[in-house]
A and B are shown apart, each in its own frame.
Chain A
Amino acid sequence: MELWKLPAWKIAEEVRRGNLSASQVVESHIRRMESLEPSLNAMITPMPEEARRRALAVDEALSKGTDLPLAGVPVAVKDLLCTEGIRTTCGSRVLGEWKSPYTASAVRYLEENGAIVIGKTNMDEFAMGSSTEQSAFGATSNPWDLSRVPGGSSGGSAAAVAAGYAPIALGSDTGGSIRQPAALCGVYGLKPTYGLVSRWGLIAYASSLDQVGPFSRDLVDLALVLEVISAYDPLDSTCVPGSRPRYRDALKAHDLKGQRIGFLKGYQDFDMDDEVKEKLAFALRICQEGGAEMMEVSLPVSTGYGLPCYYIVAPAEASSNLARYDGVQYGLSEEGKSILELYLKTRGKGFGNEVKRRILVGTYVLSSGYYDAYYLVAQKVRRLIADEFARAFSAVDALIMPASPTVAFKKGEKLDDPIQMYMSDLFTLPVNLAGLPAVSMNVGYSKAGLPVGVQVVAPKWGEMEILKVASVLTDAVGSPKVAMGGEG
């Protein structure tokens, strides 16, 4: 049996029953990772030794009767989630070999439930990008076609799950960084409602937009991981207190009777791949056949102005969040005769082009004389976008939208044209601006064999709703396949 093909829930069940050991499971995944990693480069820091040690500890704990709902489940973690004792790089040179003396809450919750981190995944530097090409550790390849990108910024996590390094992974989503790579790699990716999952230990890109979320190849796994990572955390003041539902219960739905599902009015006219449009129409048909009442929804501000709004708000926050990388306490530090020189050189050398671009844009839109014209205007538009979604959700229970306007594109194709790259997030970033939950999932493959995804969006705290729709869609299209990752 190829253990690396199993879903997480199955692994946990077998390990808890004693039919499998955590060590066996981990070994199988490590072998898979090691065989594909030379062609995929999905990991910045693989952790085979740590994972083996952890597996022994999990097996030991189980033998003593400890109940671990995720016993022995390997998990890949985006390299902007802090892991005590293991370097966290954010895909940047600026952090050097920095090791955090704490672990991100979402990761800690998984570990406390018996999951085993097998490595830190590649990403666009500081989560700024949509292709995982803009990493100081080289680009990650799409496991469905090595000449193409896996999407980004959580491309390493998406590729790792698609290729079977681990059944589940964690990523972060600020403007689509979970949903777009999930679509391009043909896996599930869920961006929770802002405030559902703790951001403690998540290295900030844009604090008011960032959320940690799961990837998986199995819908039960997705709900299961969400249950674990969404526990309330007093260390994050924006994390909303209270208990969370048992998300797996949403998956009992096999029809959408009585549900109102919205879709973008005139979506055929948007600038996107025909195959993406076709699969979107296909998904809508499934919902309709599932008994949903289908309704046209118009989101002119979100789709027309979300992009510029996002590219003001997010860089503004980023310019402040990334100001701390100055070579004084940790990480890269260049020599300087004065403190100014030390700052300029360290930051000039430490950050890549896209990060520099966004820091500069963010600094500019907040600076004296430009704040009102840019930052304030963008915040007002953000408010309009949230209001527009709220109005839409008075008429529908969930929305189905493209997760990415294109299938996985060729490496290098958009690297020289930042604005083309930004367009990748056209349909995902308004969801962050409004703080809504959304799940991205595979609904089929292009003629060239590339995955095509859609996203299901719901009002705040509507995770049960999006999982219900995802469940019905999954009944029709089946669970995602494992990518060969260049093998065979």
Chain B
Amino acid sequence: MPLSFTPVIGLEIHVQLATVSKLFCSCSTDYIGQKPNTNVCPVCLGLPGTLPVLNGRAVEFATKTALALNCRVRNRTRFHRKNYFYPDLPKAYQISQYDLPLAVGGYVELTEADGSKRRIGIQRLHLEEDTGKLVHIASDGRLSGALYSLVDYNRAGIPLMEIVSAPDITSPAQAKEYVARLRQLVRYLGVSDGDMESGSLRVDANISVKVSDGRWGKKSEIKNMNSLRAIERALEYEIERQSSMLARGEEVEQETRHWDDAAGVTRSSRSKEEAHDYRYFPEPDLLPLVLEEGFLEEIAESMPELPWEVFKRFEEVYGIEPEDAALLSERRDVAAYFEACVKAGASPDKAANWIKTELFRVMNECKCSADDFPVRPEALTELLRKVEQGDLSATAAKDVFGLMAGQGLRLDEAIKAAGVSVGKVSGGALKDIIDEVLRENAEVIEDIKSGRDKKGKKVKFLQGLVMRRTKGQADPQEVSELLDESLNN
């Protein structure tokens, strides 16, 4: 019997929390694009004699996430020091949590391709501080062959939330889905921007492979996966690598490997000159982390509707197809936008269609959020109503929408500016166009006149042609009347 291989995957995710100040000092967390070593102070640089003071907002954010992940949040935990030497770690220890993390024992529910549900366990969620960054650059400015490394501590001390999954994940697609759900969650909760490219959300994977003959390979830790796609590809590569080694009867070594996205391979990291020994012990500069009476209740009360709840509601209440419901509930701002349209009177289907095409397209271009999108839901609803009433063709409506979004015009202003007012083409001009269309479609006219167009479909077809040729600027009522006239002549 041929051997089969089952991957066993667990993910460790580090999420930068969207606080305005660092975890233990008042330096700004807004470091992207800053000059090196600007957002620094004696505390986050670990200067002698300095002491940490905890940012309460970071605790709120982590707690909120933990509750949303169905974790058990502990009222009393503590911080530990994780000791190791590295130039990006100013104190030579990281303040983290160890034996008593803030939260344990939660789960995320994933929907499989076949629609079935699967729970991925969350082992722990804890708070810790981020490290600084190293830049490797040679004196001639080249990145390769650098003579020395440069240290920037702007990132040092930014609050991180580490979320460790159980080894419940069995496929790369599932891993990708799990990360996508977590990223969506932290964005919904407003606790992080969840951006993987800039490193706000960083994923490490532990992966091993079980063989059907009872063997179980050692795990590799995969780092440097900077997108959802990279996670999937890296894990696919790694499963293949480990499985084929096991198939050949080789041992899989326990090691850390880095994903090389360009080459599409994982590579073994240079082995360290010594094994890690972090010498954790309780941080004496902080008292225990205590959640006051009523804190958890307050956080629970402030919890927004979670993405999976929104998804379900869109499906059930508005009858949206699962695929569209997923798109609309992906982001809280978009979901809210959609709902505002529906509340303003738009049909859910039409609003959904418009949002996933036009709104997404323009939002992509302007990189803006639906919350501050220039076309407010009420205005979009009004636009959709005009289309439905035949006041505007779909094509014209897109132009109008573009002007409203791009130049911030009101609906009536945009219609004017687009020069697409309904009824602009009428009377003789319209008659000319109708004649033109009829000349080109003599066969259709034959069909109609011979009574073969019982359902009136062919008349509709001609109406459509006329509307298109007027670029939607004819009054459909007039088109219909004039067309009937011509056909009956």
Instruction: Check B281 for interface membership: any CB of A closer than 8 A.
Output: yes
Contacts A340-B273, A366-B83; is A320 near B281 (CB within 8 Å)? Answer: yes
Q: Counting CB contacts under 8 A, is A302 at the interface?
A: no
A-B residue pairs in contact (CB < 8 Å), sample of 6 = A200-B49, A237-B51, A237-B53, A316-B281, A328-B87, A375-B281
Q: How far is the CB of A238 from chain B (nearest CB, A)?
A: 6
Q: Let me know if B91 is at the binding interface, CB within 8 A.
A: yes
Q: How far is the CA of A343 from the CA of B279 in the complex (A)?
A: 18
Is A237 in contact with B50, judged by CB distance below 8 angstroms?
A: no
* In contact, B285 and A237 (Cβ under 8 angstroms): yes
Please list the 4 inter-chain residue pairs (A to B) with the smallest Cβ-Cβ separation, ordered nearest first.
A323-B92, A208-B284, A366-B279, A207-B284
Q: Are A326 and B47 in contact (CB under 8 A)?
A: no
Name the distance in Å between B146's Cβ and chain A's nearest Cβ.
Answer: 13
Complex CA gap A202/B42 in Å reads: 13
Q: How far is the CA of A453 from the CA of B50 in the complex (A)?
A: 33
Q: How far is the CA of A63 from the CA of B184 in the complex (A)?
A: 65
Is B90 part of the contact surface with A, judged by Cβ < 8 Å?
yes
- Beyond A234-B53, A328-B151, whether A320 also contacts B81 by CB under 8 A is yes
Q: Bits for B332-367, please: 1 = Cβ < 8 Å to A, else 0.
A: 000000000000000000000000000000000000
Complex: A199 Cα to B83 Cα, angstroms = 22
Residue of B nearest to A104 (CB): B49
A100 touches B48 (CB 8 A): yes
Contact A329 B281 (CB under 8 A): no
Task: Report the Cα distance A368→B284, complex, angstroms.
Answer: 20
The answer to whether B281 and A236 have CB atoms under 8 Å apart is no
A366 smallest CB distance to B (angstroms):
4
| Interface 0/1 of A337-375, CB less than 8 Å to B | 001100100000000000000000001001110010001
Smallest Cβ distance from A475 to chain B, in angstroms? 38
Known: A237-B287, A340-B273. A323 touches B93 (CB 8 A): yes
**Knowing A328-B151, A367-B277 touch, does A323 contact B85 (C-beta < 8 A)?**
yes
Q: Is residue A397 contacting chain B, with contact meaning CB distance below 8 A?
A: no
A330 to B277 alpha-carbon distance, docked (Å): 26
B interface with A by C-beta (< 8 Å): 42, 45-54, 81, 83, 85, 87, 90-93, 149, 151, 273, 277, 279-281, 284-287
Binary CB contact string for chain A from 67 to 98 against chain B (1 if under 8 A, 0 otherwise): 00000000000001110000010100001001
Among residues of B, the one whose C-beta sits closest to the C-beta of A322 is B92
Taking a contact as CB atoms closer than 8 A, the residue among B48, B87, B284 that contacts A203 in the complex is B48
A395 at the interface (CB under 8 A from B): no
Supposing A88-B48, A235-B53, A237-B285 touch, asked if A323 and B83 sit within 8 A by C-beta, the answer is yes
- A100:B286 contact, CB within 8 angstroms: no
Inside 8 A of B286's CB, which chain A residues have their CB? 237-238
Q: Which residues of B contact A465 (CB under 8 A)?
A: none
A258 at the interface (CB under 8 A from B): no
Kindly provide the distance from the CB of A432 to the nearest chain B CB, expressed in whole angstroms: 12
Interface on chain B toward A: helix, strand, loop, or mixed SS?
loop
Q: How far is the CA of A101 from the CA of B48 in the complex (A)?
A: 11
CA distance A238 to B281 in the complex (A): 17
* A363 CB contact (under 8 Å) in B42, B47, B49, B279: B279
Q: How far is the CB of B103 from chain A (nearest CB, A)?
A: 22
**A323's closest neighbor in chain B, by CB?**
B92
Apart from A101-B42, A238-B285, what are 17 other A-B pairs with CB-CB below 8 Å?
A81-B49, A102-B42, A199-B49, A200-B49, A200-B50, A200-B51, A204-B48, A204-B285, A206-B284, A235-B51, A316-B281, A323-B85, A328-B151, A329-B47, A330-B47, A339-B149, A366-B281
Q: Counting CB contacts under 8 A, is A317 at the interface?
A: yes
A119 on the B face (CB < 8 A):
no
CB nearest neighbor in B for A235: B51
Is the Cβ of A367 less than 8 Å from the Cβ of B279? yes
Residues of A within 8 A of B279 (CB): 319-320, 363, 366-368, 371
Select which of B42, B54, B87, B91 is within 8 A of A100 by beta carbon. Answer: B42
Contacts of A98 in B (CB 8 A): 48
B285 neighbours in A (Cβ, 8 Å):
204, 207, 237-238
Most buried by B among A201, A203, A237, A375: A237
Residue in contact with B93 in the complex, picked from A101, A206, A238, A320, CB distance below 8 Å: A320
Query: Does chain B have a CB within 8 A of A257?
Result: no
| Number of interchain pairs (Cβ within 8 Å) | 98
Considering the chains assembled together, what is the distance between the CA atoms of A328 and B92 in angstroms? 11
Smallest CB-CB separation from A240: which chain B residue? Answer: B287
Which residues of A are found within 8 Å of B287, using beta-carbon distances? 237-238
Residues of chain A contacted by B83 (CB below 8 angstroms): 319-320, 323, 366
By the criterion CB–CB under 8 Å, are A100 and B47 in contact? yes
User: What residues of chain B lie closer than 8 Å to A285, measured between beta carbons?
Assistant: none
B377 to chain A minimum Cβ distance, whole angstroms, is: 45
Is the CB–CB distance between A324 and B91 below 8 Å?
Answer: yes
What mask results when residues 141 to 182 of chain A are scored 1 for a CB within 8 Å of chain B, else 0?
000000000000000000000000000000000000000000
| Residue on B nearest A200 in the bound complex, by CB | B51
Residues on B with C-beta less than 8 A from A238 are 51, 284-287
Would you give the shortest CB distance from A375 to chain B, in whole angstroms? 6
A102 to chain B, nearest CB (A): 6
CA distance A115 to B284 in the complex (A): 31
Beyond A237-B53, A340-B273, is A324–B48 a contact (Cβ under 8 Å)? yes
CB-defined contacts of B53 to chain A, threshold 8 Å:
234-235, 237
> Please, which residue of chain A has its CB at the minimum distance from the CB of B84?
A323
A236 to B281, CA, bound (A): 19
B126 to chain A, nearest CB (A): 18
Q: Could you say which residues of chain A place their CB within 8 Å of the CB of B151? A: 328
> In the complex, which residues of chain B have a beta carbon less than 8 angstroms from the beta carbon of A90?
48
Determine whether the beta carbon of B49 is less than 8 Å from that of A201: yes
Alpha-carbon gap, A371 to B151, bound state (A): 32
Tell me the minimal C-beta distance from A316 to chain B in angstroms: 6
Shortest Cβ distance from residue B37 to the other chain A in the assembled complex, whole angstroms: 10
Instruction: Collect the chain A residues with CB atoms within 8 Å of residue B280's CB.
Output: 366
Contact A323 B51 (CB under 8 A): no
B48, B279, B280 — which one has the most chain A CB atoms within 10 A of its CB?
Answer: B48
The minimal Cβ–Cβ distance linking B46 to chain A, given in whole angstroms, is 5
Chain B residues in 8 Å Cβ range of A82: 48-49
Q: Is the CB of A343 within 8 A of B85?
A: yes
Contact A199 to B92, CB < 8 A, known contacts A208-B284, A317-B284, A375-B281: no
Give residues 35-65 of A contacting B (CB, 8 Å): none
Residues of chain A within 8 A (CB-CB) of B92 are 320, 323-324, 326
A355 CB to nearest B CB, Å: 14
The answer for the CA separation of A100 and B85 in the assembled complex, in Å, is 22
Residues in A neighbouring B54, C-beta threshold 8 A: 237
**Cα A330 to Cα B149 with chains together (Å):** 17
A287 to chain B, nearest CB (A): 35
User: Taking the nearest CB of chain B, how far is it from the CB of A333, in angstroms?
Assistant: 12
Contact A204 B49 (CB under 8 A): yes
Question: Which residue from chain A places its CB closest to the CB of B279 in the assembled complex?
Answer: A366
**Cβ–Cβ < 8 Å partners of B45 in chain A:** 329
> Given the complex of chains A and B, what is the CA–CA distance between A236 and B284 in angstroms?
11
Partner of B85, one of A200, A201, A326: A326
Residue numbers in B under 8 Å from A329 (CB-CB): 45, 47, 90
Q: How far is the CA of A100 from the CA of B48 in the complex (A)?
A: 8
Q: How far is the CB of B159 from chain A (nearest CB, A)?
A: 16
Contacting residues, chain B, for A375 (C-beta < 8 A): 281
The listed residue (B51, B90, B91) touching A199 by CB distance below 8 A is B51
Query: A324 contacts B90, CB within 8 Å?
Result: yes
**In the docked arrangement, what's the CA distance between A371 and B81, Å?**
14
How far is the CB of A435 from the nearest CB of chain B, in Å?
12
With a CB–CB cut-off of 8 A, which chain A residues contact B149?
339
Rounded to whole angstroms, the CA-CA distance of A216 and B312 in the bound complex is 73
| A202 and B49 in contact, given A208-B284, A238-B285 (Cβ under 8 angstroms) | yes
Q: How many Å from the CB of B91 to the closest CB on chain A?
A: 5
* Across-interface contacts of A202 in B (CB, < 8 A): 49
**Distance (whole angstroms) from the CB of A388 to the closest CB of chain B:** 21
| A81 cross-chain contacts in B, Cβ below 8 A | 49
Scoring A residues 202 to 217 as 1 if CB is less than 8 Å from chain B, else 0, what string do you get? 1110111000000000
Closest to A195 in B: B287
**What residue of chain B has the Cβ atom nearest to residue A209's Cβ?**
B284
